[in-house]
Amino acid sequence: MSVKELLKSHGTPPREVYFDLENSPFVPKEVVEEMLPYFNKYGYGNPAITHKPGWEAYGVLLEAKEFIAKTICAESPEEIVFTHSGTEANNLAVLGIALKNRKRKGKIVVSAIEHLSVTFAAEYSSKLFGHEVAVVPVDEDGFIDPEIFEAYMSKDVFLVSIQTVNHEIGTIQNIKELVKIAKDYNPDVVFHTDAAEAYARLRFSVKDLGVDLVTLSSSKIHGPRGAGALYVRRGIELEPVIRGQISVEKLWPGAENIPAIVGFKKAAELAFDNFEENVKKMKNLRDMLMEGILDRVPDVLVNGPRGNLRAPDNVNVSFLYVEGEALTIELSLRGIYVSSASACTSRMLEPSHVLLAIGRKYEEAHGSILFKISRYHSEEDINYALENIVEAVKRLREISPIKGVKNE
């Protein structure tokens, strides 16, 4: 069956609710409209070239750096380095520091639930330079025990990379405390945090946290794909991971994607406008969905913490006795679009490494569904989703070869 035939077979559901924001958030019209002029007259110039179109593009680039730097309390716009994604920013952080330390034996410390763009980069550093990669375990809600973390510290640790918010289960890590532990043990250690899932959902200051490197992503805040950023604290030295022509971004060469950077800035402006109201709305809808599932669907497990220690936009639930991929398809037929297991591994049908790390069994991890809430959702969306989740799970359990639940 072709893709067109598959889509046609779906029909037109009475309502569509898009929860797959972890995989690919939609871009609102305000962001698209802001970007449009920069595909031609105002944005085709290369900001590294000294002519009028180049100067115009360079001005746009600086304005975006200034705004993003302000939102995280960076000292200077020069501390913002644009990449083309959060994955690229994570690779620049990990491999950039690893390259700087390639001639020494040393250790990189990560958690067991990091984004794969951090984990794989650390493993690649081990393969290239022989660096040891130490993986800190987490508890059943995804938190790092400070005492256990401290046990992983030593004088040969040159890089620590711990997420601010986990991308699958929404755990909000106490980064400030972990930075203090690491720096008290070794003041020269570089501390990187992947804050792509925290940016514009939690207020944070890089000065207050004490971090050296911070990853941000446009697509995680309803900006376009094609733009990411790495905050590099002044004085931190890392080497470029890729090589190319001279550009504004010395650490990430190549012509900057001006339209995407414009969209990144606009998306950030929208997210930080009425910030508290936006976050409150997301939390209310998050709790409405989570509590509705727990009340109406038997045999489910919430993955990650509850309440204020969970990201305001994250709902991750394992539906027992149901295969997550089958539930994704069933919900899609009903106009509800979600992520099964990990958005980064779902097509490989492998259980999420995050869920395994918090102690979920393989079958529990395979039955997990990730819903991401945004300020663009409504209570009507949540009610429609709940109604169809109940029906979809019941239907799949009735025909499932996996037994153990009584359908009422």
Q: Over the stretch 386-402, which tens digit does the pLDDT of each residue have?
A: 999 999 999 999 987 76
Q: Kindly tell me if the per-residue pLDDT of 405 is higher than 80.
A: no
Band of the pLDDT at 356, cuts 50, 70, 90? very high
Range in 10-24, 118-132, 216-230 the model is least confident about: 10-24
pLDDT of residue 345: 47
pLDDT of residue 3: 58
Residues 376-402, buried b or exposed e (16+ Cβ, 10 A)? ebeeebbebbbebbeebbeebbeebee
Give yes or no for a contact between 236 and 213, defined as CB atoms under 8 angstroms apart: yes
Pick the catalytic residue from 344, 382, 393, 405: 344
Q: For the whole model, what pTM was predicted?
A: 0.93
Band of the pLDDT at 245, cuts 50, 70, 90? confident
Q: Kindly tell me if the per-residue pLDDT of 13 is higher than 50.
A: yes
Range in 178-182, 208-212, 221-225, 322-326 the model is least confident about: 322-326
Reported as a single tens digit per residue, the pLDDT across 266-310 is 999 999 999 999 999 999 999 999 999 999 999 999 999 999 999
Give yes or no for a contact between 364 and 355, defined as CB atoms under 8 angstroms apart: yes
Separation CA 387–CA 242 (nearest Å): 49
Instruction: Let me know the angle formed at the C-alpha of 361 by 365 and 283, rounded to the nearest 5 degrees.
Output: 45
Separation CA 207–CA 212 (nearest Å): 9
Mean pLDDT of 354-380: 95
* Residue reference for tokens 């984004």: 115
Both tokens of 298, joined, read 């038997």
Reported as a single tens digit per residue, the pLDDT across 180-204 is 999 999 999 999 999 999 999 999 9
Band of the pLDDT at 53, cuts 50, 70, 90? confident
pLDDT of residue 1: 57
Give yes or no for a contact between 98 and 106, defined as CB atoms under 8 angstroms apart: no
Q: Which domains does the chain have, with CATH numbers?
A: 3-21+275-399 (3.90.1150.10), 29-272 (3.40.640.10)
Band of the pLDDT at 54, cuts 50, 70, 90? confident
Is 344 a known active-site residue?
yes
Three-class SS state of 310: strand
Q: Give φ, ψ of 44 to 5 degrees.
A: -80, -10
pLDDT of residue 85: 96
pLDDT of residue 269: 98
Interhelix angle 324-333/379-399, rounded to 10 degrees, is 130
Mean pLDDT of 326-345: 83
Q: HSE-up of 332 (CA within 13 Å, CB side)?
A: 16
Nearest to 101 by CA among 130, 134, 136, 133: 130
pLDDT of residue 407: 45
